[in-house]
Amino acid sequence: MQVQEPQVLSEKPVATKLKTGVLIVNLGTPDSPNTPDVRKYLREFLMDGRVIDIPYAFRWMLVNLIIAPFRAPKSAKVYKELWTERGSPLKFYGEDIEKMLQAQLGEDYDVKLAMRYQSPSMDAGLEFFKKSGYKKIIVVPFFPQYASASTGSVYEKTMRIVKEWQIIPEISFVNTFYDHPKFIEYFATAARNYMAKQDYDYFMFSYHGLPQRQITKGDCTGNTCKFGSCCDTIHSMNQHCYRAQCHETTRLLVKELGLKEGTYTTTFQSRLGSDPWVQPYTDVVIKELAAQGKKKILVFSPAFVADCLETTIEIGEEYREMFEEFGGQHWQLVESLNNSPMWVDLLEDLVKKA
């Protein structure tokens, strides 16, 4: 009689550790500084209804028939000045931070870099988390101050992607970090390094501009925003206002650095089109300061976490040339957070509190 071998049951699969996915998102950059890639980037960026908030048909004609065809070749020349052996600074600094933050957060988290426009895409990053069964996803837009055209657009894109998922895990968003102690500490520390080597007679805080209509549309009360003293403090009615948050960042940096009243100002740069944008305009103020006899200016750009076209080229080169042309002697840009360890510490804190 043949004795049957006892059946050996296979071991149960060991459950993988539950992880949190962290999607860090910056604005985006062309895949190359060549005109076709720049044109592609401009079309995707400017066709976003939160960036140019006019009816679709008018936006399509404006972007595809006017801006992209004529602006792309000019922008491509500027991008070529910005490009390095590693490519676009905005992208490779993001890649550095992706690795550094991953190492700092450890195995309980997986960090993925994405761009709101172009690559690496938000679609690919979120799809990775979807297929790998993450218990939670934290989305961290790389914009210190909230604006509908930046942070709001990242939120909308995220929700547009996940609404098609059958199972949607817990998702958290980081909203702002314009007043985070480490954010203020970084710029103050970087500024002190320059102030130790040079006596500056003026300090400028230049933020990316927005059309005034976008600020007004964000005023839920309908009567808080006056483009004046309404931003002198942060309160419940203006806490989500981009302009108010920019002014608060300036106030915190002024306090940290101990700057005297009358030696600094908040300005806004990079306006597009003829509609009124948030004022005062950086280029206009530069001419006024030079006319007043200001000779040495230290300038900050605290709306950006990575040096890019708007910081390195626009502020660092074009505005410097303008200042010198009108009689200025020394113009110094304080660098963005880029791939600094303090930026990683700040992100770690944001993620763990989300």
Give all strands (DSSP E) within the chain, no chain letters.
20-28, 109-117, 136-141, 170-173, 202-208, 264-269, 296-300, 330-333
Q: Within a 13 Å sphere around the CA of 138, how many CA atoms are in the beta-carbon half?
A: 21
Rounded to whole angstroms, how far apart are CA atoms 333 and 78? 18
How many other CB atoms are found less than 10 A from the CB of residue 30? Answer: 28
Hunting for tokens 């963005």 — which residue is that?
Answer: 336
Sign of CA dihedral 274, 276, 279, 284: positive
Count of alpha carbons within 13 angstroms of residue 6, beta-carbon side = 3
Binding annotation for Fe(2+): 208, 310
Q: Tokens 């000019």 — which residue?
A: 74
- Record the tokens describing residue 31, joined without a space: 């895949």
Asked whether 166 and 339 are in contact (CB, 8 A), the reply is: no
Burial class (CB in 10 A: 0-12, 13-18, 19+), 199: exposed
Handedness of CA 156, 336, 261, 280 (dihedral sign): negative
Q: Report d(CA 305, CA 151) in Å as an integer.
A: 13
Q: What residues are designated binding site?
A: 208, 310
